[in-house]
Amino acid sequence: MEENKNLEQDNSVPENADMDMSNFSEDDEDSLILSWMKKFGILVFEIVKVVLISLAIILPIRLFLVQPFYVEGASMEPNFYQNEYLIIDEISYRFNEKQRGEVIIFKNPKDTRSYFIKRIIGLPGEEVSVDDGRVYINGEILEESYVENFSSDKHEAIILNENEYFMMGDNRSNSLDSRQIGPVHQEYVIGRVWVRGWPINRVNTFNVPIYENISQ
């Protein structure tokens, strides 16, 4: 009986044999954690780098070169309609003279929180008047092929000072412009309408109109 007892003792399995952690040290665990932390740090660094590079490229373009603008209202119909998406060119207005007929974006001098889209009609030093809805520059009528809806209003002659412009909407009977708010100083001008990007069927760029009897 004693021999059988010894045999049973020899064949017995230690209770915690399957939980032996002697081959897995704390150093190995720390190394695994550090490896994952390193990979995560590299990923975060790459994301931050891409974001910073993108901002470095996009922000100067957005702030100083071009910016988007949505048309609000009907003052420029039929050439520009509500909610059309426009790209505004700012850089040309830092280096080039403004020209008659350009469609521009400017801050309302009476409330600089609001923006207007209008067309440059009168240039600095010119005399501008409106009689029966038709514009006169230095006494000469301005032929405007882009206007379909002329008004019947009258505006007394005004001589524009240096760096002042007379702005008008193409929809003359439905436009708040220099006839009401007065001439616009160049400091309020944001930029020239360059591209219409939406809707797709009206995508277009814009050229300055030709005036036969009036200089640009």
Catalytic residues: 75, 118
One-letter identity of residue 192: R
How far apart, in whole angstroms, are the C-alpha atoms of residue 121 and residue 190? Answer: 17
141, β-bridge pairs:
136
Residue 125 near residue 159, CB atoms below 8 Å: yes
Q: Please name the residues in contact with 195: beta carbons below 8 A apart, sequence gap of 6 or more.
A: 86, 87, 203, 204, 205, 206
**Cβ atoms within 10 Å of 30's Cβ, excluding its own:** 10
One-letter identity of residue 144: E
Torsion of CA 153, 155, 156, 162, to 10 degrees: -160
